[in-house]
Amino acid sequence: MSGGRDRGPDRGRRRGHSLHAFRAILAKDLRVELRTLQSVPAMALFGVTTFVLFRYGLDRTKLSGGLAAGVLLATVLFAAILAINRLFVAERDEGGFDAIRLAPVDGTALGGAKAAALIVYLVVLEAITLPVFALFFLDSWAGLAPVAGVLALADVGLAATGVLVSAIAANSRARDLLVPLVLLPLLIPVMIAAANAAEPLLAAQGPAYGGIGKWVGVLALYDMTFIAVGFAVYDFLLED
């Protein structure tokens, strides 16, 4: 009986420590990024450069519909890989993984903080690149607000999946190669759903909303699935 009474408070304390660890790791990562500017500027520069390449490579000054959605989402996806590759560099080089293993916290605190930091990076990236994309390719900016909502759902999927893959590849010498090889197939559903949701929003005649509900639902289902998978397996990833 006494053991049963003790386990409840122990779990409560562990959850409290894990929440504190989540906030501390997230704050640390955001401070480091503000000081060093290692990820977000590279992502933004990649995004803007890619739009320039598409503008002159396709020889098109205006895009709409599926082509516009494809250009935008492909750019965001490959820019995100730059940050995903670097998510756990500090933990690998400075013993962060060992510290989490030894601390009285769940490993999901580390994964959740990294996912939240990646979402922040992606939001900043899109705040910079969406206006550039509209300036280069769109006649009307009316669809940008709903497209930003679609991108927000895609960002959660990118973060939930990217954290898992980055943690698996963190100790590999071929990390820069392994991350895209494993990540890109897993993100196919996200890209298909996001592209189909964004296509009518970027139509030449203005945004249309018919039929996007099912694709938004697919994005939300994907997000919830990989968040649940992350919570279920992240402690085991740290042990391995």
Tens-digit pLDDT profile for residues 228-239: 998 888 777 766
Query: What's the pLDDT score for residue 236?
Result: 73
Q: What's the one-letter identity of residue 107?
A: G
Output the CA angle 195-200-204, nearest 5 degrees.
Answer: 115
Query: What's the pLDDT score for residue 187?
Result: 95
Query: What's the pLDDT score for residue 44?
Result: 95
Query: What's the pLDDT score for residue 192?
Result: 95
Each residue's pLDDT tens digit, 83-109:
998 888 776 666 565 566 656 566 777
Residues of the chain with pLDDT under 70: 1-17, 91-106, 238-240
Query: What's the pLDDT score for residue 5?
Result: 40
Range(s) of the domain holding residue 125: 2-239
Instruction: Provide the whole-model pTM.
Output: 0.87
Token pair 């605190």 is at which residue? 109
Q: How far is CA 143 from each of CA 15, 68, 205, rounded to the nearest angstrom?
A: 41, 12, 10
Query: What's the pLDDT score for residue 117?
Result: 94
The C-alpha atoms of residue 168 and residue 233 are separated, in whole angstroms, by 11
Query: What's the pLDDT score for residue 3?
Result: 43
The total of structural domains in the chain comes to 1
